Structure 1
Amino acid sequence: MTGLLEGKRILVTGVITDASLGFHVAKVAQQQGATVVLTGFGRMRLVERIAQRLPEAAPVLELDVTDQSQLDSLAERVSEHVDGLDGVLHSIGNAPASCLGEGAFMNAPWEDVAATLQVSAYSFKSLATACLPLMSEGGSVVGMDFDNRQAWPAYDWMGVAKAGLESICRYLARDLGPKGIRVNLVAAGPVKTMAAKSIPGFSAFEDAWDERAPLGWDVTNAEPVARTCCALLSDWLPVTTGSMVWADGGFHAISV
C-alpha cells in the first residue's frame, strides 16, 4: 500500500528531543514514505543522536532562524540531501522566562518580547522564504500553533506571538497561493514536550483538556497531532490554505 507521503521530500524544523512534535511528524512522515531532512538549533550533537532514532536516520542541518546568513544558505544546504522540497514543517518557538507566567504580560521588557515575536512568529515567514527556491507547485508549508483566539493563563507573550503566527499564516497563504503553495497551521492540544515544560502552570492545561475535550486528550501521545500535520503536508488537502486546523480532541468547540 502506497504511503500518504510517498516520494515527498519534507523539511522538519525544531527537533530537540524525541518528545518534540517535530520528531513525531518526521517519524510519521517517514512511515508514510517521505524522505526527511531535519534542522536543529543549539545542541546539535543531541539532535543528531535523536535523528538516529527515526525509522530511517535523517540528515540534520543547523538552523538559527534569527541568523540571516543561515536562512540565506538553507536552500543550498538542503539541496545537498534532496533535490527539492514538497513540504516544510515549522515547529519553532521560544520565549524568555520573563515573557511567561504570572505578571509577565505587564512586566516583560521589549527586548524579550521582540525576541519572542521574532523566533515564534516572524520566523514562519523567514523559513518559508528561505525554502521557496526549492518548492514547486503543490508544495505545503505547515506551522505548529496553539489556538490564540483568547487569552490563556501563563501563556502571555507567547500567546501574542501565536496570534501573530496565525495572521502571518493568512498573509503567506495569500502571497504563496499563486505559486501553488499551501500554508496552514495545526492548532494542537497540549503535549508534553521540552517547550511545554517551560510554561508555568502547564499542568492546568493538561487537566482542563482531558475534562473538556469531547474525544478526550492524552498529553503523552503526540501521534494524532503528527498525523494531522502529515495530512496537510500530503496532496489530500489540495485547496486548503490559510487555515488553522485543530488537533485538540475538540476542546476548542466546547465552552466552560
Structure 2
Amino acid sequence: MSGLLAGKRILVTGVLMDSSIAFHTARLAQEEGAEVVLTGFGRLSLVERIARRLPKPVPVIELDVTDQERLDALPGLIREHVDGLDGIVHSIAFAPPDALGGTFLQTGWDSVATAVEVSAYSLKSLVTSCLPVFGPRGGSVVGLTFDAKVAWPAYDWMGVAKAALESTSRYVARDLGGRNIRCNLVAAGPIRTMAAKSIPGFGTFRDIWAQRAPLSWDVTDPEPTARGVVALLSDWFPKTTGEIVHVDGGVHAIGA
C-alpha cells in the first residue's frame, strides 16, 4: 500500500458534517493509506451518516471527553476495530453561547470552565486515555487551533481556551517525547463549518482574511488545513513537536 500514511491507524475526533476540517482530514488520511476510526458525541447517528460519505467504511465510537468512564473505556473500544494507534486528530471545541459574542467581562466561571475543559484540557484527557494503544514506535497527535496570540472580535473565551490548548500541546509534547509521541497544532484560517456558525460575527473573520491574506483564502475549502494535519500525522515531520503550523493564507505574518 502506498501513500503518506500507508499502514497507519488514525483516530479522528470531531467529525460532525462533511464541511468540517476533521471530515476532510479523515478522507485524506484514507486516501493516503491510513485506517481511520472516528469518535462522535451527542448526535451519533448524524456522525455515522456523514461517515458513510468517506471513501471507505469507518467505525464510529461514542466519546464524551468530559466523562472519565468513557475515556477509560476508549482503549478497549479502539482495539475492537484496530490493533493500535499511530496518530490522533484532536478536533474538539465548545464554548457556551454566553462565552462568545462580545460579553467577555460578563461571562461567568461555569461557562469559562466548560470552554477550557472541552477545548483545551480534553487534549490531555484524550491523549492520556489513548496511551495504552500506542506502540513502541510512538506516533503523532495533531490538534486544531485558531491563532491565539491576539484577541479576535467576538471570539472571547474561546480565544482564551485556544491559548490554553496551545500551551497544553507544548506540555504534552514535553511529557510524551520520551515515548516518541509528537504533539503539534495546525492554526487554521476561518472555515465555514458547523462550529463557525456558533461564532457571532463570523463574517468579520471572512472580511479580515479577504483583506490581509497574502495567499487567497476560501472559507468554504477545508482541504488546505486537512492537508496540513495529514502532513503532521505522517513520518515527514519526525523531529517536530510542540509546534504550531499556520495554514491560514499567511494572515498570521501580516500586520494590520
- 1:235-246 to 2 correspondence within 5 Å? 235-246=235-246
The structural deviation recorded for 1:138 is: 3.6
Counterparts of 2:168 and 2:82, CA distance in 1: 27
Instruction: Calculate the TM-score normalised by the size of structure 2.
Output: 0.98
Counterparts of 2:170 and 2:182, CA distance in 1: 10
Residue 164 of structure 1: aligned partner: 164
Q: Is the 8 A contact 2:44 2:62 kept in 1?
A: yes
Q: Is the 8 A contact 1:95 1:112 kept in 2?
A: yes
Q: Does residue 184 of structure 2 align to residue 177 of structure 1? A: no
Q: Does residue 106 of structure 2 align to residue 107 of structure 1? A: yes
Q: Is the 8 A contact 1:138 1:238 kept in 2?
A: no
Counterparts of 1:130 and 1:210, CA distance in 2: 40
Q: Does residue 58 of structure 2 align to residue 51 of structure 1? A: no
Once the two structures are superposed, residues 144-165 of structure 1 have per-residue CA deviations (whole angstroms, 9 ceiling, x without a partner) of 1101001111000000000000
- Could you tell me the percent identity over the aligned residues? 64
The structural deviation recorded for 1:88 is: 0.1
Instruction: Calculate the TM-score normalised by the size of structure 1.
Output: 0.98
Once the two structures are superposed, residues 103-132 of structure 1 have per-residue CA deviations (whole angstroms, 9 ceiling, x without a partner) of 2x1011111110110000000000000111
Counterparts of 1:176 and 1:229, CA distance in 2: 19
- 1:33-182 to 2 correspondence within 5 Å? 33-103=33-103, 105-136=104-135, 137-182=137-182
The structural deviation recorded for 1:96 is: 0.3
Aligned length: 255
Counterparts of 1:216 and 1:131, CA distance in 2: 37
Counterparts of 1:79 and 1:43, CA distance in 2: 23
Once the two structures are superposed, residues 47-99 of structure 1 have per-residue CA deviations (whole angstroms, 9 ceiling, x without a partner) of 00111000002100000000000000001100000000000000000000000
Q: Is the 8 A contact 2:102 2:155 kept in 1?
A: no
Give the match's secondary structure for 1:187: strand
Kindly report the root-mean-square deviation, in angstroms, between the aligned alpha carbons of the 2 structures: 0.8
Residue 188 of structure 2: aligned partner: 188
Counterparts of 1:32 and 1:8, CA distance in 2: 9
Counterparts of 2:237 and 2:74, CA distance in 1: 27
- The residue type paired with residue 123 of structure 2 is F
Give the match's secondary structure for 1:36: strand
Q: Is the 8 A contact 1:196 1:202 kept in 2?
A: yes
